[in-house]
Structure 1
């Protein structure tokens, strides 16, 4: 599954590793060629696609015994004593080169898009727990800018920046309270992030489960195209 995009998207083949070697280096830890994020930020870990036994041993040393290793889309196969935890089929979608963001509908009823700060983390965690947009931890907000929509003071929708491989910024944690759906909040939030990311000279990308047809349709309406199929996998260290 590719869109034939002519831009340099090779960094997206290893978005976790490229982020931890670059703009997120200070938010992670590393042993040899294995890397992972600091606790409370993300559970994503990375080893090279051609990982050997030493690389997996280094990652096990980083994570500790009986620890969760979220390998994201890394294609490397761990040793047999690493217990499989989950497998999820998905797709990676990218913003085409030289495209402009779609025009979002204007805000109604006092629901402007606002930037979320450290004081908003408890509400962000609560919203993520109720809507399950993907992994979201107490320090996930440290990965980038997060935007939200408030209705009568209550946080009802959010989206933000996550992985940052060279030249790219991932949009993630796109979620809306069930009672506030159908009002265009996700469209407005993602549009605002696309505009922000492009203004910084980066290109947006994102990941979505293959089963989430509603989200895929939304991202396609916004202008994203599918780059490739990905398989998300998690394991437990021996």
Structure 2
């Protein structure tokens, strides 16, 4: 197992995405406008005080991997279990979504609107700046998208996989994922993704594609008083 996997958010925030991060060497988060992920170098000894200058009271923050007791002044708003799935197959032989468009700043509003409709996970107006996100359009409408987000140590997360309800059942999710798999593996990067433990349908799709189960982690939404 890649040693970066269990704390990929921290390794990303101090590594490839350091330019998008704020915080210290004891706690970091993405800057405003990006998903409000927080991370610590050691989940067994999280320094929440180090986050105080970089958070607002009542702001919802996301943390994956920390399962301890919330310190005074902080509360857990929601908790779930994420299943991590790592790619365990060959590189896709062809690009299965050649019509997909690399999303840029001009697509940010459409991407955010689709994410708010389908809820693939934490997604903010500037999320698509964190990696290569691809979308498929029907005229001006964004039908489906997927992208590669957190990355460090030769691994990257496929995320933001979603399809507009009007265009489901056409295989866009699997085709966009295959496109990203091919793209990342051509770079020498191993892809993985995370899915809710109760997301049985999504897990089935990913296993059929060639992903394998690779551990679980607590995912929390937290805030400070």
Q: Structure 2-normalised TM-score? A: 0.92
Note the residue ranges of structure 2 that are not aligned, 5 or more in a row.
none
Does the 8 Å CA contact 1:171/1:190 hold for their aligned counterparts? Answer: yes
Q: Deviations over 1:88-124 (max 9, x none)?
A: 112011112xx314567966xxx92221111111111
1:132 corresponds to: 119
Does residue 13 (structure 1) correspond to residue 6 (structure 2)? The answer is: yes
1:51 corresponds to: 45
Does the 8 Å CA contact 1:40/1:139 hold for their aligned counterparts? Answer: yes
Structure 1 CA distance for aligned equivalents of residues 63 and 96 of structure 2: 39
Structure 1 CA distance for aligned equivalents of residues 81 and 45 of structure 2: 22
2:138 corresponds to: 151
SS of the equivalent of 2:61 reads strand
Does the 8 Å CA contact 1:171/1:205 hold for their aligned counterparts? Answer: yes
* Aligned 1:166-177 pairs, distance under 5 A: 166-177=153-164
Q: Structure 1-normalised TM-score? A: 0.88
1:100 corresponds to: 90
Q: Deviations over 1:24-57 (max 9, x none)?
A: 11110122411000111110001221225xx110
The total of aligned residue pairs comes to 224
Larger strand percent = 2
Structure 1 CA distance for aligned equivalents of residues 79 and 110 of structure 2: 29
1:224 corresponds to: 211
Does residue 215 (structure 1) correspond to residue 202 (structure 2)? The answer is: yes
Note the residue ranges of structure 1 that are not aligned, 5 or more in a row.
1-7
Q: Deviations over 1:54-113 (max 9, x none)?
A: x110012321333322112333443043111110112011112xx314567966xxx922
User: Which 10-residue stretch deviates more, 160-169 or 75-84?
Assistant: 75-84
